[in-house]
Amino acid sequence: MAKYSDIANEMRRRIQRGEYDSNYPITDEVSLTKEFLCSRMTVKKALDILVAEGLLYRKRGHGTFIVKSAKEEKLVNVLNNENVGLTKLIGAEHVESVIIGFDIQFPSQEVAAHLSIDLQTPTYHIIRLRKWHGEPYVLERTYMPATIIKDLTKEILKGSIYDHITETLGLTIGGAHRKIRADKPGELDQEYLHCAANDPILEVEQVAYLNIGMPFEYSFSRHRYDKFVFKTVIIQR
Amino acid sequence: MAKYSDIANEMRRRIQRGEYDSNYPITDEVSLTKEFLCSRMTVKKALDILVAEGLLYRKRGHGTFIVKSAKEEKLVNVLNNENVGLTKLIGAEHVESVIIGFDIQFPSQEVAAHLSIDLQTPTYHIIRLRKWHGEPYVLERTYMPATIIKDLTKEILKGSIYDHITETLGLTIGGAHRKIRADKPGELDQEYLHCAANDPILEVEQVAYLNIGMPFEYSFSRHRYDKFVFKTVIIQR
DNA sequence: GAGTGGTCTAGACCACTGG
DNA sequence: CAGTGGTCTAGACCACTCG
């Protein structure tokens, strides 16, 4: 783990435990340099992470401050734009997956294009319903090239695909590109998410990449509108 | 303007004009160092911006590559998570604002909390419909403290509030925090956005900050679901 | 081994703020 | 003025990939 990650984690912990008075700036960068025995660039990079997470903001000439609203918000259905991961987000304990469809097909033009594969590459086609505390939460339609993500089984799908990728296959997940939109519910949504014919859906379309830049997942996650908020932080440059 | 911004702008221009073959890595960081006569940290910071914009990705040990899908996408209704700004996004030419409500009130508890003001601070309460090419596009409900954003008039509201803030008032806009959700249409939505009773709405709740960390806007932007996609890039650390 | 990006250092100067 | 964050330098070593 990089030093700046360690420092970011430590500072995040302190902020969330209330070890800094949120009415005053936190310890300045030069002092943190001395505390963590590193250069100022490293401290800055660590704090950059917390700024991107919406936990801190900076005032030039003043200092670095805690975003007050951020400390309170420990809401349930919240996603920020940092992590790729699904089970991780709300903790695996109360999450349950129902497999609605699982087969292997040749990809459509659209799927092939998003996964950067050709039309002859066998591709998993997965439809899963994720429940949380027994309540339907999100309906996922996922495409993955079988050449990259090998040996998928129903057993794995009941748990976390991401664990299988990182732990069993030893691959490292890189970033992702997402598009978020509202949509009308389809038949599948109504059936599995138990939503009414006029309940909106919040859809997240995602292409996820391995650290080597290769796309490994093209997916559409359809969320109940009353159980999902997507959070993001804009940093001006 | 900072040097890394200039480099990022130049590289963005080159990528979009197709000056690099997207099947091969772009010029490596050390060579860019020599071309732009700067240190490697500065080149890296410039490329970081383009990675965050989803234009580039890096492969350690290989090089930096162009995201192919990014170059094609010059879609209409696209927002990324970098800029604060509304008129800027799609160009002011074909944008038109209809003022539906404009008055000054004491804030509610909720508004006061989000703007970090007390209940005695007079606050603008604005409802605007934004049209693009004559078509209703987004319905905005905005709260701004009259102590910070002074001298608002209907004339200003017909154009860009952001121009007024930055140019007339001489303030600098910092970042923003957003929450994105789907919602059912209300009466106002149906009336002004011309949407049907079961057309979903994509709502963006935003608290925007000045560069000095003070919130100046709390707003709810309600978009037609068929005209708006929110894009975001996740970078794994 | 050579080439790539990832991290880190120990400084430096600048821009902005307050007193 | 001193103190803050913003930018930048000119190196260094590491981790990873390829041939």
Distances, alpha carbon A171 to alpha carbons A210, A213, B66, in Å = 7, 12, 22
CATH 1.10.10.10 domain residues, chain A: 3-72
| Interface test with chain B among A5, A180, A204, by most B beta carbons within 10 Å | A180
Task: Give the mean model confidence (pLDDT) for residues B9-30.
Answer: 93
Long-range pairs, A25-28, Cβ under 8 A, ≥24: A25/A59, A25/A62, A25/A63, A25/A64, A25/A65, A26/A56, A26/A63, A26/A64, A26/A65, A26/A66, A28/A63, A28/A64
Contacts with B192 (C-beta within 8 Å, 6 or more apart), sequence order: B98, B100, B129, B136, B139
How far from chain centre, in Å, is Cα A47? 20
Closest CA to C6 C1' — which residue? Answer: B60
- Fold for domain A3-72? Arc Repressor Mutant, subunit A (1.10.10)
User: Using CA atoms, how far apart are residues B126 and A109, in angstroms rounded to an integer?
Assistant: 46
CB–CB contact B212 A54 (8 Å): no
Average pLDDT (B178-207) is 94
C-alpha span between B127 and B136 (Å, rounded):
14
Query: Residue with CA nearest C14 C1'?
Result: B2
What mean pLDDT do residues B78-91 have?
A: 46
Instruction: Tell me the chain B residues in contact with residue A173 when contact means C-beta distances shorter than 8 Å.
Output: 236
Say yes or no: Cβ of A213 under 7 A from any atom of strand D: no
Residue B237 has a pLDDT of 57
Asked if A34 CB < 7 A from strand D, the reply is no
Contacts of B143 (CB under 8 A, 6+ apart): B107, B111, B114, B115, B123, B124, B125, B126, B217, B218, B219
Contacting residues of B for A5, CB less than 8 Å apart: 237
Indicate the DSSP class of residue A122.
-
**Least confident interval from A82-91, A147-156, B214-223:** A82-91
Task: Say if the Cβ atoms of A174 and B57 lie within 8 Å.
Answer: yes
**Confidence tier at B71 by pLDDT (50, 70, 90):** low
For A1, the closest chain B residue by CA position comes to: B237
Provide the pLDDT for residue B91. 56
Query: What band does A161 get if pLDDT is binned at 50, 70 and 90?
Result: confident
Q: Name the segment(s) of chain B with CATH classification 1.10.10.10.
A: 3-71
Q: What is the pLDDT of chain B when averaged over all its residues?
A: 86
The pLDDT confidence band at residue A40, using thresholds 50, 70 and 90, is: very high
Tokens at residue B195, please? 């949407």
CA distance, residue B118 to nearest chain A CA (Å): 15
**Distance, angstroms, CA A39 to C1' C9?**
6
CB A75 within 7 Å, strand D = no
Q: Which two tokens stand for residue A50?
A: 């917390």
Pick the residue from chain B with its C-alpha nearest to A78: B179
Please state the rounded mean pLDDT for residues A127-139.
Answer: 90
Comparing every residue's Cα with the C1' atom of nucleotide D3, the nearest one is: A61
Residues of chain A contacting residue B165, judged by C-beta atoms under 8 Å apart: none
Window from B20-34, B89-103, B168-182 with minimum mean pLDDT: B89-103
Distance from CA of B60 to the nearest CA of A (A): 7
Other CB atoms within 10 Å distance of the CB of residue A215: 22
A114-117 contacts: CB < 8 A, separation 24 or more?
A: A114/A143, A114/A207, A114/A215, A114/A218, A114/B69, A115/A143, A115/A144, A115/A145, A115/A207, A115/A215, A115/A216, A115/A217, A115/A218, A116/A214, A116/A215, A116/B68, A117/A145, A117/A147
Ranges of CATH 3.40.1410.10 domains, chain A? 78-230
DSSP label at residue A146:
T
Under CATH, to which class is B3-71 assigned?
Answer: mainly alpha
Residues in chain B: 237
Quick one: closest CA in B to A56, which residue?
Answer: B213
Subunit contact B234:A54, Cβ cutoff 8 A: no
Q: Which of A209-213, B114-118, B132-136 has the lowest mean pLDDT?
A: A209-213
Residue A74 has pLDDT above 80, yes or no: no
Contact across the interface for A197 and B202, Cβ inside 8 Å: no
Nucleotide nearest to B61 (CA to C1'): C4
Give the pLDDT band of residue A227 (cuts 50, 70, 90).
Answer: confident
> Measured in angstroms, what separates residue B64's CA from nucleotide D13's C1'?
21
CB contact under 8 A, B182 and A201: yes
B78-230 fold? Chorismate lyase (3.40.1410)
Three-state SS annotation for chain B: CCHHHHHHHHHHHHHHCCCCCCCCCCCCHHHHHHHHCCCHHHHHHHHHHHHHCCCEEEECCCEEEECHHHHHCCCCCEECCCCCCCHHHHCCCCEEEEEEEEEEECCCHHHHHHHCCCCCCCEEEEEEEEEECCEEEEEEEEEEECCCCCCCCHHHHHCCHHHHHHHHCCCCEEEEEEEEEEECCCHHHHHHCCCCCCCCEEEEEEEEEECCCCEEEEEEEEEECCCCEEEEEECCC
pLDDT at B29: 96
Q: Which residues of A touch B41 (CB under 8 A)?
A: 41
Distance of CA A61 to the CA centre of its chain: 34
Residues in chain A: 237
- Exposure string over A71-92, b if 16+ CB within 10 A, otherwise e: eeeeeebebebbebbbbeebee
